[in-house]
Structure 1
Amino acid sequence: MHRRRQIIGQKEWTARFLFVFLRSAPIDLPRSEAQRDYHLLIIDLMLYAIYFIYGLCVMFYFMMAWLFYRKDKELLSRLVTVLMLVIGMQCLKDLLFIKPIAELDETDWMIITSSDVIAIPLYAFTLIELCSPASLTRRTIIIHELLFIVPFVLFFITRDIIYYYAEILEALVYGLCYTIWAAFAIPRYHRELKRRFSYTENINLNWLRAIFLSFVLMLALWIADSLHAGYSFEILYMSSSLVLWMFIAYNMYKHESVLDELYDGMDTDPTPAADATETEMSEIGRRISLLFDKDQIFLNPNLKVSDIATAIGTNRTYVSEFFNKEEECSFYDYVNRARIEYACTLLDGSDANIMKIAELSGFNSSQSFIRVFSKLKGISPTRYRKDGCN
C-alpha cells in the first residue's frame, strides 16, 4: 500500500509538472482511486507522446540542416541550414525542460517560450530568397533579427510580462506584413519566370504558394501555443510543424537547382544597356527568326532568354524587349507556340504516342504539353489527331 501511494504521489507530481510546463490551469484530479489512476495514465501517455514527438523533431531538423549544408553554398541553402539548426536547438531545449527535475513558474516558462522568436525572421528570409533571389542583404538580416532579440532581452532582464505580449504582437504584425508582401511578390516572381524561361517544370509557383501558406500556418500555431496551450495542443502544434517542414524541405531540396538558374537570370547586367534602336531591334528579330525557323532552338526543353542572347550575340535586355514589345508576348508564350506548331506536324505525320511527341517538341513532360496544347488549340492533342488538322 505504501508503494502504491508513493507511485500515485509521483504520478500526481509528474502530472502537475506537465501542466505547469504547458501553462494549463491547475489539475483537479478525480477523487476516486480508479478515476485517478485512469486520469494519470492518460497524462503519462501524453507525456510519452510529447517525448516521442520532440525526439522526432530534433532528429529531423538536425538531419535537414546537415543535408542542406552539404547540398551547395547558395544563400537559400545556407538560410535553410541555419533555420533548421535553430529550430532543432529549440526543440532540444524544450525536450530537456520536459524532464521533471524542477518546477518552473509561469514567467520562467514564458522566457523559455519567448526565446523561440529568433527563428521568426528566418522564415521571412527564406521566403524573400525564394521570391526575390539576391535581394536579401546582411543589413536586412541584422535589423530584422534585432527587432525580435531586443524585446526578448528586455523581458529576460526585467521579467515584465508586457514584453512577452509585445513579442507575440510583433510576431503577428510581422507575419501579416509578409503575408501582404508575398501576395504581390509571388505574382511578380511568376511574371519574371515567364520572361526568362520557356518551361514551368520545377519552377512553377504552386510549391512557393504552399511554402508561404505553411509559414503563415506555423506562425499562427506558434502564437496560439504561446498565448494558451494545453498538452493536446502542444502535440498538435509540434506534429503539424514537423509534417509541414517535411513538405517544405522536400520541395526546397528538389527545386533548388532551378532556383540557382533563376538566381543568375535575375541578376542585372553590370552596365545597363541603352534602348535598342529600330535597326538593332530589326536585326535581333531576324536572328531570332533564324534560330527558331532554321535551327529550331525551341526544341531545347530548358531554353532560357540567356541562351537566345548568347546565340545571337546580344544581351538579355534586348532579347526580352524584343519579345515584350515586338511580339507582344512573353518569352514563355513565344517559345511554346513554336513548340505546339511543331507538335501539330508530328501529330499529323507520325504515329508516335503523346509522350514521345511531347519530348520531341521540346516539352519536359507530357502533362505540360497537354496543358499548353489544350490552351492554345482549344482541344487535346489526342482529339486533334483524331479530328485531323482541320
Structure 2
Amino acid sequence: MTLDALSYFFNGMSLAFFVIAAIHAALCARRSGSRPHYLFAVCLAWMALIEIKELFISFSPTYQYEVLGPGFTFPDLFTLPLLSLFFFELVMPGRITVRYAARLLAPFVLLAGAYCAGLAFQPREVYYSFGELLGALPSYLPLMLLLYVLYTIVYCIFALARIVTYSLRYADQIAQAYSFTERIHLRWMRWMSAVLACYLICYIGIITFTSTAPYIIFTFLMTLGVWGILYGCIIQYRIPEIIHNYWQEESAVPDADDESPTEKCGRIAALRQQVAAAIDERRLYLDPGLTIVDLATECGTNRTHLSRFFNSELGIPFRDYINRCRVEHATRLMAGNDHKIEELALLAGFGSTTTFYRAFAKEKKMTPQQWLDSHKGQQPVTGEPCISELAAPRERK
C-alpha cells in the first residue's frame, strides 16, 4: 500500500513538473522568439499528457496485459520524434519546416493508427503474460507493433547520427562567428541525446513488461532526473542569432572569382591592415562579447569576406584568432603586474576563467601559473602584437 501511494505521489510530481516546465519554456520562447524553446515546450506538454495517461491507467494494475496494453506505449514512443525535432532545430536553425516535421512524424502516426484501428474490433480482455496477449491478437497487430518498435530503433540511430554530425558543423560555425562559447556551445547535447535514448529504452521496457510498484517508482524518478537535467540545459542555453545566416551565403557578397590576382592581393592587404588596426589600436578583442559581425563592421567589410580571410589567409578560425590575441594580452599583464588569474581572465577579454584556462593551455601548452613560474625575473613585454606576429599567412602550394 505504501509503494502504491509513493507511485501516485511521484506520478503527481512528474505531472506538476512537466506542466510548470512547459509553461515556463513557452513564456521564455515568447519573450525570445526562439523556435527551439517553442519545440521544447511542445515536448514538455506532450510529456505532461503522458503523465496524465499514466495516472489514469495506474488504477488498473494489469493494464499492460489488456488488449489495449501495447497501444498505451505508442504515445511514449512518439516522444522520440518530437524530441528529435527539437534537437534538429538546435543544430540546423531554421531548417525545421512544417513539411519536414510531417515527413518525420508520418510513419509514427500511420503505424500507431493502424494498430489502434485494429484494436477497435477486439473484445477487451485481461491476460496474464505479455506473450499470451500477443498470441491472442490478430496476426497483423503484433506485426504492426513490431514494425513500430523497429522503426523507432532505426529512427533513433538515424537521429543520433544526424545530431552528432550537424552539431560538429554547428561547433565549427560558432568558431567562425563568436569569440566566446559561454552558454552557446552544444557539447552538452551530444551526451544528453545519448542519455535520453537510454532513458526511453528503459522507460518503454519497464512500462511494457511490468507493473510492479518499485519499477514504476523508479520510472518516475528516472523521468524527473533526466528531464530535469535537460530542462536546466535548455533554459540556460543562448540561441545565437547570427548562426541562422550561416545556412545561406549573404546576398550582397561580390564574386571573388572575377577578381584579378592583383586586385585580390590588394583587397587582402587592405583587409589585413584594417584587422590589424582594429586589433592593435582599438583592441576589440578585449570585448568578451565580440562577434565576427562586430569586427567586420569595424573593418568595413562583411562577415563572409572576413571569415574567408581568417580561414584562407591566416589559417585560423575567428574565435581562435581572437583568443590568441587575448592570451598574448594576458601574458603582458602577467609579466608586468601581480594580478590574480580571475582578474587576468576578465582584463584580457575572456568571459570566464574556464575559457581563459582552456585558451591559454592551447596557445602556450601550459597553465597560466606554470607560465608565470617559468618567466619570473624576465622583463615585461611592451607594445601590442601585430596581426602578422599572431598568425602568419598560410603558405600556398
TM-score tier after normalising by the smaller chain length:
0.7 to 0.9
The corresponding residue for 1:143 is 103
The corresponding residue for 1:218 is 199
The corresponding residue for 2:35 is 75
1:287 aligned residue (274, 289, 293): 274
Q: Distance in 2 between matches of 1:265 and 1:306?
A: 12
Shift of 1:64: 0.8
Q: Distance in 1 between matches of 2:80 and 2:64?
A: 25
Matches within 5 A, 1:106-255: 106-159=66-119, 160-225=141-206, 227-231=208-212, 232-255=214-237
- 1:115-168 deviation line (CA, Å, top 9, x unaligned): 333322111111111222112121111111111011111001113232122211
- Please report the RMSD computed on the Cα atoms of aligned residues, expressed in angstroms: 2.2
The corresponding residue for 2:11 is 54
Matches within 5 A, 1:238-317: 238-255=220-237, 257-260=238-241, 262-263=243-244, 268-271=249-252, 273-275=254-256, 277-317=264-304
Q: Distance in 2 between matches of 1:351 and 1:161?
A: 73
With the length of structure 1 as denominator, give the TM-score of the two structures: 0.83
Shift of 1:262: 3.6
The answer on whether the counterparts of 1:225 and 1:234 sit within 8 Å (CA) in structure 2 is yes
* AA at the equivalent of 1:136: I
Cα distance change of structure 1 residues 70 and 242 upon mapping to structure 2, 3 Å threshold: same
Higher helix fraction (1 or 2): 1
Shift of 1:211: 2.2
* AA at the equivalent of 1:194: A
The answer on whether the counterparts of 1:373 and 1:379 sit within 8 Å (CA) in structure 2 is yes
The corresponding residue for 2:135 is none
The answer on whether the counterparts of 2:64 and 2:70 sit within 8 Å (CA) in structure 1 is no
Q: Distance in 2 between matches of 1:214 and 1:84?
A: 17
With the length of structure 2 as denominator, give the TM-score of the two structures: 0.81
Deviates more, 1:266-275 or 1:322-331: 266-275
Cα distance change of structure 1 residues 52 and 279 upon mapping to structure 2, 3 Å threshold: same
The gaps in structure 1 that reach 5 residues or longer are 1-43
The gaps in structure 2 that reach 5 residues or longer are 120-140, 379-397
1:330 aligned residue (317, 332, 345): 317
* AA at the equivalent of 1:382: Q
Shift of 1:258: 4.0
| Identity fraction in percent | 22
Matched pairs, number = 346
Cα distance change of structure 1 residues 383 and 278 upon mapping to structure 2, 3 Å threshold: same
Q: Distance in 2 between matches of 1:243 and 1:101?
A: 25
* AA at the equivalent of 1:287: Q
Cα distance change of structure 1 residues 103 and 141 upon mapping to structure 2, 3 Å threshold: closer
The answer on whether the counterparts of 1:175 and 1:219 sit within 8 Å (CA) in structure 2 is no
